[in-house]
A and B are shown apart, each in its own frame.
Chain A
Amino acid sequence: MIELVPRSSTGWRAQLAAYALALVLGFTTSALLIAASGASIIEGFGALYEGAFGSQEAILQSLVAATPLIFTGLATVIAFRAEIWSIGQEGQVFAGAMCGYWATLYLGDAPGLVSIPVIILAAMIGGALMGGFCGWLKTRFQVNEIISTVMLNYVIVYLLSYLLAGGPWTEEGSTSYHQTPVFTDNFHLPLLVDDVKLHIGFALALVAAAICWVILKKTPLGFEIRALGFNPTALRFKGVNVTRTVLIIMCISGALSALAGVSEIFGVNHRLRGDVMTGIGFTGIIVGMIGGLNPIGAVIAALLFGALANGSLYMSVLSDIPPSLVPAMQGILLLFFLTASVLVRYSIKFKGPAHV
């Protein structure tokens, strides 16, 4: 008889081995799929590698794709470590982009040195308010955060739709299309590398990851976040204001997600539209989980996802693999990763049959 026994702690070596195994199994299964389709496995994986890490340009493109996922992954880490199951990252990405855009309406020709910090600050406030609102509903009215965050995801998407499609943010000359005009240059996030659109959002994401790590490991707030996840009752008896802690966590998580919206809209697309942000928040949840709810792990997972996204694009264009197989492969890899992230927390025990 096989029994899964939870481990008291999981070392980084075990996690690394589990994810490496997941990678191998995921690629093996994908290879079988490619072979079944009649396409060349070598050509397909060659294109995937080329897109992910094959050149400096490809690596930088992978970093661009990873940037928003680092933010939403970190947002997940902060909330989930406290066992606050916020699914609101998706909506908070939108809220951040929207508040950032709202700020631009008042910034006019302000130079980038002024406008960019204001946009970032406005976005973080927007995301924090949205996260904090769900935290308030949870602490004040015991509203389950899963319900409130999911519902607010819908609300914010439809608010953006109202504003963009015939509302006050509609692009001039267009009676109805879900996008704003293109931003002027002073609202573009400065580039770290020209031509590839690797912008300062990436550097900000790394700084945010470092700050999150420090908060979680080295500060009283970090202790409270972790303790809230382990035993909120004990924390309350210790004299900690749990309501305040929940609100802070939700605000931080919301602000981090909002930065993903800023990164994608002001760093890459340079106009506000909903469809380019879809999925960033939900993918961030997976990134956070695969990263073992650790800030550094989330960064690594986001980089992997970014590389996979860019590699998949190269695979679609440069190989003869049927287009529908590429997302299927991404799904297979994801399944193996998620399975590994769960299984690594358990040890397998073999027991003999019980004798009465």
Chain B
Amino acid sequence: MNIVKSLSMGASFLAMAGSFALAEEPSELGIGLILATGPEASWDATLMRDLETLIESAPHGLDISYKNINGVWGEQAGDAMDLLAKTGKYQIIWAHSSYSDQVKALQDKYPDILFVLVGSGNEGLGGNAYWVYKRAHEPSYLLGVMAGRLTESDVVGVVGQFPSEDVNDQINSFFAGARSVNSDVARKVAFIESWYDPAKAEQFTNAQIAAGADLTFQLVASFETCEKATIMCFGNYVDHGETSPDSVVASALISWTQDLNWVIDEWYDHAANGAPYEGNVTERWVSMANGGTALSGYHAFADKLSAELKDEIAILSAQISSGELEIPVDLSLPTSD
């Protein structure tokens, strides 16, 4: 037998062994989370909450564990992803913000790892890089309707993080909702230029209150400031009414459950059946109708809001869910009047 035959037989044997290995159903899954801030920020906290819940449900019978790396940006985030990949313990690396530059540099180096990019500022990379978007514009519209009805000064504020697409969509929808019921609403918009900075959030909220706002949509979660000033506020991502019942009327909620299930399914199909990764290159988001977002309950404000307002919100909410009312995604830069 010559050496070429030996090598080809060996290669065939290895390929067969490989296909048997691929056919083996994985029982464990490690997920590495790259977080721009950490669990103190609602954006990151919701992901960790939904992942914890998912772990209990054990999709595909998997024993899932995860590790979160907090507060990493730019090159440091790339180094963290590389380190996570090198350990061999993590089959999915979920980069929970705009990290496509770093993932782009790593995705070919680790072809069996499924990378996830989240939100705006990313580039659709395809292959083993999946791109998840979160649009909370629909419940934000409902919050805006409440704000338009409840404001007495007709000045409504929003304090956001950075002006970016998945921040702008919420702010624009909020004001669209407010103006749909109160055309006199004047807008006050401020960005703190940070993803998480409670001190700046307080300063900017106070500035809006000083400028006449009697309601603010808090994308930066400075609810203590609202309480001190005895104004009503709205929250986003998590149900802030649970922790700040004196100031938060309602919140625009998000869920990552479907996104997590989607990428776990994709990874499982790759790991168990050898299916190639086919990461999306365009935005993919789950609507309110499909459970991607929701409006929270009113908590302490349930007794303070009029029945008419609650009915109006319930009707609008049902219309959005049924598709009767379509809330457009407006990504333009929101500005003050």
Name A residues whose Cβ lies closer than 8 Å to a Cβ of B. Answer: 61, 64-65, 157-158, 161, 165-166, 174-179, 182, 197, 264, 268-271, 273-276, 278, 309-310, 313-314, 316-318, 323-324, 326-327
Contact = CB atoms under 8 A, between A and B. Distances in A.
Contact of B333 (A165, A182, A324): A165
Interface in B153-177: 162-165, 168
B71 A327 contact: yes
Contact of B165 (A177, A182, A310, A324): A177
Interface string B44-78: 00000000000000000000000111111111100
Contacts of A165: 162-164, 333
A217 B76 CA distance: 36
B307 interface: no
Contact of B67 (A270, A274, A314, A317): A317
- Among A174, A271, A275, the one with the most B-chain Cβ atoms within 10 Å of its Cβ is A275
Contacts of A275: 36, 73-74, 162, 194-195
Contact of A158 (B36, B83, B168, B193): B193
Given A161-B191, A268-B74, A323-B69, A176 B83 contact: no
B84 interface: yes
Contacts of B83: 313-314, 317-318
A194 B193 CA distance: 33
B84 A64 contact: no
Contacts of A317: 32, 67, 69, 80, 83-84, 87
A317 B162 CA distance: 28
A195 to B, nearest CB: 10
A324 B101 contact: no
A64 B74 CA distance: 13
A323 B162 contact: no
B279 interface: no
A175 B165 contact: yes
A264 B121 CA distance: 19
Nearest to A278: B194
B80 A276 contact: no
B120 interface: yes
B193 A316 contact: no
Given A175-B331, A176-B168, A161 B162 contact: yes
Contacts, number: 97
A338 B325 CA distance: 59
A170 B84 CA distance: 32
Q: Top 6 nearest A-B pairs by Cβ distance?
A: A165-B163, A276-B74, A166-B333, A177-B121, A175-B331, A317-B83
Contact of B193 (A157, A197, A326): A157
A54 B194 CA distance: 33
13 contacts: A165-B163, A175-B332, A176-B120, A176-B332, A177-B98, A197-B75, A269-B75, A269-B101, A271-B101, A274-B193, A275-B74, A317-B83, A324-B39
A316 B101 contact: no
Contacts of B69: 313, 316-317, 323
Contacts of A61: 79
- Among A65, A177, A316, A318, the one with the most B-chain Cβ atoms within 10 Å of its Cβ is A177
A327 B120 CA distance: 27
A309 B76 contact: yes
A178 B121 CA distance: 8
Contacts of A161: 162-163, 191, 193
B94 to A, nearest CB: 14
B173 to A, nearest CB: 15
Interface string B290-326: 0000000000000000000000000000000000000
Q: Report, as a range, how many residues of chain B touch the other chain.
A: 35 or more
Contacts of B79: 61, 310, 313
A177 B164 contact: yes
B38 interface: yes
B38 A324 contact: yes
Nearest to A309: B76
A204 to B, nearest CB: 18
Contacts of A182: 101
A174 B100 CA distance: 14
B165 A176 contact: yes
B72 A313 contact: yes
Contacts of A310: 79
Contact of A176 (B71, B74, B163, B193): B163
B75 A268 contact: yes
A268 B75 CA distance: 7
Contacts of A270: 101
A318 B80 CA distance: 10
Contacts of A276: 73-75
Nearest to A268: B75
Contact of B80 (A166, A175, A269, A316): A316
Interface string B142-161: 00000000000000000000
A165 B168 CA distance: 10
B333 A176 contact: yes
Contacts of A314: 83
B121 A313 contact: no
Contact of A174 (B80, B165, B332): B165
Interface string B77-101: 0011001100100000000001001
A157 to B, nearest CB: 5
Contacts of B191: 161
- Among B68, B87, B191, B333, the one with the most A-chain Cβ atoms within 10 Å of its Cβ is B333
A276 B195 CA distance: 12
A323 B38 contact: yes
Contacts of B67: 317
Given A178-B164, A182-B101, 12 more contacts: A61-B79, A65-B76, A161-B162, A176-B333, A197-B75, A269-B75, A271-B101, A275-B36, A316-B69, A317-B32, A317-B84, A318-B87
A229 B90 CA distance: 54
A174 B73 contact: no
A274 B161 CA distance: 12
Contact of B98 (A179, A268, A309): A179
Contacts of B74: 264, 268-269, 273, 275-276
B333 A174 contact: no
A80 B62 CA distance: 58
